[in-house]
Structure 1
């Protein structure tokens, strides 16, 4: 799966969240963003069986960590197709509303753990209702696999996406 193409679809889904009400809380924004992203993923050629999932619990015994990422794009584990649970994992997304240093550090910690343990190809941090991407806070070791975006409504009432 092409990461650039996927990021373009993610950005398009973010700019499709047009009602300012969704920007008032992280969970409401996440639900609408998920709905918009799911619609747009139909335009991509996804790997066989790939699913978009919200808050899919990762269990220590099965996955090697205990994290509930906001959104993932993955192929559910199938022993007939995958040698391990670290295969078929395409993108993991963490959303924060008006992120501050502490919440940003937690989100990057989760993204790094998911990338390192389950071999996600791409980690995406999305700062909702802000223009700050926090790109400067991405650990150096993961700059090639974590992308930072910010989504906000501008002064004219239009949704905007800032890429870090």
Structure 2
């Protein structure tokens, strides 16, 4: 979680806070840089918008960012092994868009055994942590990131 928070605070240009897609790309780049310094499981990759297909994965969701080991039948018994973290990003999340993100995170956690789901609310101080289903609160981290009055990134964690 510290690496995720550090990566969020490294997104400093105000233009990235204007749209979700631009922020996601810069956040991904910052996160990838920081993950190089951490011992990750063998073969683990950070991927953007990796489509999950119903026939192969048991659901049809395109998460924003995942950290996983691509499926290898020589190493994994099923596609629910080797998954590490799934992230959903929203800009100015509303109760409805946050609920949709949590629905996706819970589905990924339950179906593909991701131990960690991360919700990031961009250009906001609201994490919406209270909207995470009670049964999944231990496995879903909620963060919000915005620029403070001095133009410095500020991360709120719940």
Per the normalisation by structure 2, the TM-score is 0.99
Aligned to 2:46: 52
Task: Write the distance in 2 (CA, Å) between the matches of 1:31 and 1:151.
Answer: 15
Listed one character per residue, the Cα deviations across residues 111-150 of structure 1 (whole Å, up to 9, x for unaligned) are 0000000000100000000000101000001000000000
Partner of 1:25: 19
Q: 1:111 aligns with which of 105, 117, 127?
A: 105
Within the alignment, does 1:163 sit opposite 2:147 as a pair? no
Alignment of 1:80-159 (within 5 A): 80-159=74-153
Q: Distance in 2 between matches of 1:134 and 1:91?
A: 19
Task: Say which SS state the counterpart of residue 42 (structure 2) adopts.
Answer: coil
Q: C-alpha distance in 2, partners of 1:63/1:97? A: 27
Aligned partner of 2:58 in structure 1 is: 64
Shift in Å, 1:93: 0.1
Q: Distance in 2 between matches of 1:34 and 1:124?
A: 13
1:17-60, CA deviations, whole angstroms, 9 ceiling, x for partnerless residues?
00010000000000000000000001110000000000000000
Structure 1 unaligned regions, length at least 5: 1-6
Structure 1 counterpart of 2:37, from 31, 39, 43: 43
TM-score, reference length from structure 1: 0.96
How big is each residue's C-alpha offset from its partner over 1:80-118, in whole Å with a ceiling of 9 and x where there is no partner? 100100000000000000000110010000000000000
Which residue matches 1:8? Answer: 2
3-state SS, counterpart of residue 89 of structure 2: strand
Q: Secondary structure at the match of 2:37?
A: coil
Unaligned runs of 5+ residues in structure 2 are: none
